[in-house]
A = this chain, B = another copy of it.
């Protein structure tokens, strides 16, 4: 009733026959004499009154709004992360201001800058991968921030919530090994021009090389290999980004090297699909001739034939947990980094090695 826009503490107080301070207290959960509380409650009800958030903020209250900045919103990983974050935020009574960087580093800076204008209680931030030149975020000094889905090589001073990518690489490889495979190709996304094959192992030992989760995956691959006493062969490593087409061309590249391989560890289910597509087109059967591991456990993997063996990352949980961690930081509780386990999913793109 009445035009909400003009309803203010004064109106409510007047109607209830108390002071505005009392109404304010009542609405903020401060003890008020029961008789008054009843009257205030009535008045509030009658006007359908709500505190003006802007006016509260000016007094330094919390906004109950957090920012979430993601590289893209329409990639299944981040969409699921966001959905998880939204669920937890809702449970906390918080709203989410969302920002996408559209995969571009330029936009990232702009988005963060724009967010600095907003009144946020905190920020969840997933930098665009490959952020060799990290953004100097001044907002980070004043705002509680947690880094999501990126390892400690970026913004190591901030709390992180991330997946065990090393474990993912390890699990994939070890599983393939346990199936009897020995010539396991690895599709990596980190192979920059400056990286020689020889240098790769050294790079691994250098922390802070950038947001290369693929690097962790690679170290997991190496660890598993080592465990089985298999020596690492650079020829088996192919540079490959994360898409379907990337998988196709990387598979072609591998084929063109004319070396023996019995299985492939990829960095994404899309890549695995591309690989399978190319392999089968060459008359190479998956998994009979070559086993292929996906990564990420997308819906897609259950739909294509063969169904993908893959590594499940619980991005939904990661989103929820990020909001929880941020909540802790905001409320000045101790926050520890959280490393979420990944899980091996066995389906049909992998099989025992035929001898």
Q: Are A303 and B58 in contact (CB under 8 A)?
A: no
State the CA gap A96–B79 with chains docked (Å).
Answer: 15
Closest to A245 in B: B302
Closest to A299 in B: B244
Taking residues whose C-beta sits less than 8 angstroms from the other chain, chain A's interface range is 35 or more
Cβ-based interface call for A126 (8 A): no
Cβ-based interface call for A52 (8 A): yes
Q: Are A50 and B90 in contact (CB under 8 A)?
A: no
State the CA gap A300–B80 with chains docked (Å).
Answer: 17
Cβ-based interface call for A331 (8 A): no
> What is the oligomeric copy number?
2
Q: Are B73 and A90 in contact (CB under 8 A)?
A: no
On chain B, the residues within 8 Å of A116 by CB distance are 50
- A149: shortest Cβ distance to chain B, in Å? 14
Contact with B along A112-155 (1 / 0, CB 8 A): 00111111000000000000000000100010000000000000
Cβ-based interface call for A317 (8 A): no
- A177: shortest Cβ distance to chain B, in Å? 28
| Residues A50-76 near B (CB distance < 8 A) | 50, 52-55, 57-58, 65, 72-76
Segment touching B, from A81-89, A199-207, A321-329, A333-341: A81-89
Instruction: Supply 6 further A-B pairs (C-beta < 8 A) apart from A48-B138, A96-B97.
Output: A53-B118, A53-B119, A73-B82, A95-B97, A95-B99, A97-B98
Binding site for B on A (CB under 8 A): 4-5, 48, 50, 52-55, 57-58, 65, 72-76, 79-80, 82-83, 86-87, 90, 93, 95-100, 102, 107, 110-111, 114-119, 138, 142, 244, 270, 273, 277, 299-300, 302-305, 316
